[in-house]
């Protein structure tokens, strides 16, 4: 049975993706690469959300919204077709957890989900 994203959450993810895209455009213009963000929850302290060598917190560029309880991770890639990034959204409904990976770049196969996941 396919996983369906509840409409309010789907709209929220689209809004988040737009904010992230704007932040990534600015980050790329400054650094020549896309920013990354460790998996972090919307209610966590966002100061330790970046990998070593990345001086800016990505949450400072595209803050996590508190409209939903969820987690987000951003991974940069440089692949054979070019560079881009993948935003993976994580959320729970009741006892079930889900993920949705959204690719922003030339390698469409990197978009996956939504999927029910075991944690």
The answer to whether residue 106 is domain-embedded is yes
Percentage of the chain beyond pLDDT 90 is: 29
- HEC secondary structure over 65-79: CCCCCEEEEEEEEEE
The answer to whether residue 105 is domain-embedded is yes
pLDDT band at 2 (very low <50, low <70, confident <90, very high): low
Three-state secondary structure call for residue 45:
coil
Range of the domain at 60: 7-117
Please tell me the pTM assigned to this model. Answer: 0.84
pLDDT band at 5 (very low <50, low <70, confident <90, very high): confident
User: How many structural domains compose the chain?
Assistant: 1
Residue 93 pLDDT: 78
Residue 82 reports pLDDT greater than 60: yes
The answer to whether residue 96 is domain-embedded is yes
Task: Return the number of other C-beta atoms located less than 10 Å from residue 15's C-beta.
Answer: 12
The answer to whether residue 47 is domain-embedded is yes
The answer to whether residue 20 is domain-embedded is yes
Label residue 95 left, alpha or beta by phi (over 0 means left) and psi (-120 to 50 means alpha): alpha
The answer to whether residue 18 is domain-embedded is yes
The answer to whether residue 1 is domain-embedded is no
Residue 28 pLDDT: 92
Residue 84 reports pLDDT greater than 90: yes
């Amino acid at each position: 049975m396919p996983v369906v994203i509840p409409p309010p959450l789907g709209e929220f993810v689209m809004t988040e993706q737009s904010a992230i895209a704007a932040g990534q455009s600015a980050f790329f213009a400054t650094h020549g690469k896309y920013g990354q963000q460790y998996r972090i929850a919307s209610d966590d302290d966002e100061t330790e959300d970046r990998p070593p060598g990345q001086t800016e917190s990505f949450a400072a560029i595209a803050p996590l919204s508190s409209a939903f309880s969820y987690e987000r991770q951003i991974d940069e890639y440089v692949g054979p077709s070019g560079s881009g990034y993948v935003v993976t959204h994580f959320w729970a409904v009741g006892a079930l957890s889900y993920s949705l990976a959204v690719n922003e770049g030339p390698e469409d196969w990197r978009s996956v989900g939504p999927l029910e996941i075991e944690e």
